[in-house]
Structure formats: C-alpha cells, structure tokens
Amino acid sequence: MENRSLIEQVKARAQSWLEGHYDEETKNEIRNMLTGDEETLIDAFYKDLEFGTGGLRGIMGAGTNRMNIYTVGMATQGLSNYIKKTFEGNKKIKIAIAHDCRNNSRLFAETAAGIFSANGFHVYLFEDLRPTPELSFAVRHLGCQSGIIITASHNPKEYNGYKVYWEDGAQIITPHDKNIIREVKNIKDIREVAFNGPKENIEMIGKSVDEAYLKMVISMQLNANAVRRQRDMGIVYTPIHGTGVHLVPEALHRFGFKNIIRVPEQEINDGNFPTVKSPNPEEHAALQLAIDKAKETGAELVLGTDPDGDRVGIAVKDHDGTFVLFNGNQTATVLLYYLLRQWKAGKKLKGREFIVKTIVTTEILSIMAEHFGVKHYDVLTGFKYIADMIRKKEGKETFIAGGEESYGYLVGDFVRDKDAVTSSCMIAETAAWARDQGKNLIGLLREIYLEFGYYKEQLVTMVQKGKEGAEEIRRIMDDLRHNPPETINGANVMLVHDYLKQQTIDQISHLRYQIDLPQSNVLQFVLHDGSKISVRPSGTEPKIKFYISVNTKVDRPEDYQEAGKLLEERIKMIRKDLKI
C-alpha cells in the first residue's frame, strides 16, 4: 500500500513537469519513464536533490532528483534569493563560476551565469574548464560574495553536480546550506526562476586568474635546493581527462621539475572518461596508463588528479621496479611529515601553528603534529569543515596543512578547499627531498612508521542504490547506534563516539561526554587495542562507508614486514566480525 502511494506521488510530480514550462526534450524523457520501468521513475522524482558534504550532486536527466537545467536553475535562483537577503545593501554582488570536463558542465555553468545575471549580479565566468581549487581561490581573489563550480568530482560519467562557495572561498556549511535549500523549496514553479539575464553582467575570466593562482602555488615551495638537485626526476602526470591538464604540469615546471611526462590518451577532456571505468585516483585502474608510461620511461613518481582537480593519487617506484600505490592516509603521512620537518628546519615553528584532519583520517597525523609541537584539530568529514577551522583560527594561529583520507590535501590557506595542483607540487618536492637523501617515498613512509607507530587503514564501501538502498543504510546505522557491539575481533569496545547525538559513551564506566562538533550521522568505535572503526553514510553517493584503522609499535626494521601482516590480519578479522 505504501509503495503504491509512493508511485502515485511520483507520477503526480512527473505529470506536473509534463504540464509545466519545461522543454519538449525533457517532457519526452518523462513520457518514456511513465510508460517504462517504475523504479527509474521513482528514483527520478521521489525527492528533490539536496546539498550534502559535496553540495548538489546526482545523475543527469529529467526529474526532481536529477541534474538538469531546471534543478540547476531552481538551485541557482534559491541561492540568488539567499545572497540578496544576506548581502542586502551591497551595491555590486559578485559571483564566480567554474566547471569541469563533464557532459553538460558548460551548459549548467552558462545556465547558472544567466540566472545570476538576471538577478542583477556581476558574474565572473571562466572561459573554459578550471580546477575546483582555482574557483575557491578566485572567490577571494576577485572579492566575490559567492561562487559555484559545476562538477561531480570522481563520480561515474552519468553524474554531475553543483558546489556552492561562500565569500571566504570555502564550501557552504550550516546555516547557509540549510537556508539555501529552504529558499529553493520556496520556489513552487519553474516560472519563478529568472533565466537569461543581460550578457553585459557576465565577464569572462581566465589567464590573469591562472597567473595569480600559480604565483601562490609556487610560493608554497620549501626546499628549492632539493628540487634543483633532483630536477630530472621522472614524474608522470595524468589529469584523467580532467581540469588539471594545463595547470598541474605548468606548476610542476615552475617548481623546477624538468622531466614531466604526459599521458596523451588521458589529456583529452572528455566527460565520458573513455580510458577508465571510473575517473577516481583512489582506484588502481585509473592510474594504470600512467603507471605503464612510468615503466616505459623509467619515471619514479606517478601523479593522477581527479576530473575537477582537487584530489590526487600517487604511485611510487620501489627498488625492484614495481609501482606501489599509496592510499590517501599514506600520502597525507609523508606529505605532512615533510612539511613539519621543513618548517622546523626553517625555524618557522613559533608555537602557534596547526594542522587539521577529518575524524576518519589516520591518527598518525596528530601524533606527528604533537611531536613537532604543532596543534592539531579534528573536524567532520568534508573539506568544508577544514576550511571552517582555518577561518576560525585566522589571525590567531598559522595553518600549515590539512588533509583527509579520501586523497584530498591543502597546503597553505590561499585556497579554502582541497587542492590537487599545490598538493601535486608539494608531493613531488617531498619525493625530491627523499631522493636527495638516497631513498624514495616508500622508504620514507617506513621510517615514519618506525618512529611514530605503524598505522594501516582500509575503507570498505557498500553501495545501496535508490530508495530501498537509502532505507537499508538507515537500518544499518540505526542498528549500530542502538545496539553497539561490546567487542570487535575479541577487543573490548572502549568508546563509542556518536556524532549525531554529539556525545561520547564510555562503554566501561557508562559516562557520557559532549562532542564539540556539529551534528553528523557518524559512529566511531574505539577498541582496547587501539583500533578504530568509523561508519558513515556518504553525503554525495548511495553508499555507506566503514573506515578501519589499526596500529602497532615496531621497534626494529627487521620486524616491519611481520607487523604489516599482523595488521592486515587484524583488519580481516574486524571485517569478518562486522560482516562487511
């Protein structure tokens, strides 16, 4: 009965689009859905797209739960209404817009530009695709009140998205996100959206912003001498068909690296991502062409950025010629260690410096920061929270770097989002510094583990699509929240951090402690042996994620391999216990 009621509701919503002011192509797509598979119709219309940790994101097509010019239009009009209320009295409201390489990205960017223009704003529209971090930079550089980028990051080709930035160059957080959604929901008819504003309100931007951004990227360099000595180190770079295609090689060149090797097949900007199944640098297959090129040319380091240029994956050649892929935690570990070492060597540590990481990112970052006398802060998953911490500490403390396990890093604060352009340069500099001392990043990582503890992490992702999938994810979270395990892999669960209830529960004393972070549907279980398991639904995809972190102390180099096997077995048993 409930399912039939849902079907009738979505049919009514679909019918309202057929009778509304929508183009004929959209209406034909809806007619096909009405006479076809009910599941497709339900998924297209059962809800409105909402802002999650990555903003508005969804499959492209007709429907309220799809990315199309109408959902983009309503989001843009709602955002415009909110901006006008927030900056009432501002004579010239300015907005920056960028987009990635995905299908329809330029169409959505131009649609948004026309709507902002119709609302009386001055619009800076990038002439062609640009990386997400450059959009973040441009918002502050051009004195904008807001900005958007059309991107779905590393999602499959059928997706697109819409990320909103505020005047500080960071992605929106509460209360702005909820207020914008409220404004969008207040729009009851597409006729309320002001499309096609005057062209004179839209200013094309490009090279001058590129130069200003690159100047700041180059200013992050810490050891030009090491780079100069290792300038011929072979670096293979792939943009995986995306926005890093021009700026990353240019930035590496300006850093001083002379042997930058390209992957021509993946330099073609194509939203269908023809050379990969998924344009995600977390996945081995996405970097395979680059690794093959590195083997062919004798290069030592592989860098691959995702389509919108904010995340970077790396592979490092070992002494036997094989390439080892680093996960996001490992890359963050060597990068942060290098930064802390260089800041200390340069006598730049004055006791006011800090780093930021997300709650699901490796704890070794905090341990290293403490060792160097640097403060560390944990924030919720989503780089917007790292940016918010930078904003809160601005003028009081000095930000060194931030990172998250999902391959996103930020060095310096001139960008307020993860930045694969700067990160690629700093990772390459770290590799040059290590090479200067006769080792590679693999050897450097091993030395870090021997000094601070051997940490191993694994991410387990369960995909649950559609309405039924969302209900299954909800059931899993409810069960873990109301019936938390007492032991996992034979180790007692000591603490349960419930970020939705904003409290920590001590399972031994049963005392409760307040968590001073915003509400979020995340659970963490801290075990007696130091292991930590975090569980959270994705904010942008139909997935539930389990983050497993284990660690042990290794006193002697000869024990390193055995310790790794022990940690792998511990992860295996944790997964078995949790049935994931």
Distance of alpha carbon 152 from alpha carbon 163, whole angstroms: 9
pLDDT at 154: 87
Q: Which domains does the chain have, with CATH numbers?
A: 47-205 (3.40.120.10), 215-452 (3.40.120.10), 454-578 (3.30.310)
* Active site (annotated) includes residue 153: yes
pLDDT over 80 at 562, yes or no = yes
Q: Is the peptide bond before 557 cis (omega within 30 degrees of 0)?
A: no
Q: Which pLDDT band, with edges at 50, 70 and 90, does 1 fall under?
A: very low
Give the mean pLDDT of 527-543.
89
| pLDDT value for 51 | 61
Among 42-46, 263-267, 541-545, the minimum mean pLDDT is found in 541-545
What's the CA dihedral at 107, 113, 117, 123 to 10 degrees? Answer: -150
Q: Specify the pLDDT at position 274.
A: 97
Range with lowest mean pLDDT among 33-42, 74-83, 348-357: 33-42
Burial of 221 (0-12, 13-18, 19+ CB in 10 A): middle
From the CB of residue 284, how many other CB atoms can be counted at a distance below 10 Å? Answer: 12
Single out the catalytic residue among 80, 136, 153, 424: 153
The residue-averaged pLDDT of 293-308 equals: 98
pLDDT of residue 54: 54
Averaged pLDDT, 435-461:
97
pLDDT at residue 188, rounded to an integer: 83
Q: What is the pLDDT of residues 159-185, one digit of tens each?
A: 999 999 999 999 998 888 888 888 888
Task: Assess contact for 246 and 217: CB atoms under 8 A.
Answer: no
**Average of per-residue pLDDT across 565-580:** 97
Given a cut of 60, whether residue 143 has pLDDT beyond it is yes
Of 165-179, 284-298, 338-352, the least confident: 165-179
CB 323 within 8 A of CB 303: no
pLDDT at 573 over 50: yes
The confidence score (pLDDT) of residue 406 equals 94
Q: What is the mean pLDDT of the chain?
A: 95
Q: For the chain, give the percent of residues with pLDDT over 70.
A: 98
pLDDT, tens only, 370-425: 999 999 999 999 899 999 999 999 999 999 999 999 999 999 999 999 999 999 99
Write the CB contacts of 407 (distance below 8 Å, at least 6 apart in sequence).
281, 282, 306, 311, 312, 313, 328, 331
**Cβ(133)–Cβ(417) under 8 Å?**
yes
The whole-model pTM stands at: 0.95
Alpha carbon distance 238, 292 (integer Å): 12
Sign of the Cα pseudo-torsion (163, 196, 185, 468, in order): negative
Contact 31, 14 (CB under 8 A): no
CB 359 within 8 A of CB 385: no
CA–CA separation, 167 vs 175, rounded Å?
14
pLDDT at 443: 97
Does residue 2 register a pLDDT over 70? Answer: no
| pLDDT tens for each residue of 461-484 | 999 887 788 889 999 999 999 999
> Inter-axis angle of helices 420-436 and 132-141, to 10 degrees?
110
Distance CA 459, CA 467 (A): 24
Residue 52 — pLDDT band, cuts 50, 70, 90? low
d(CA 151, CA 55): 10
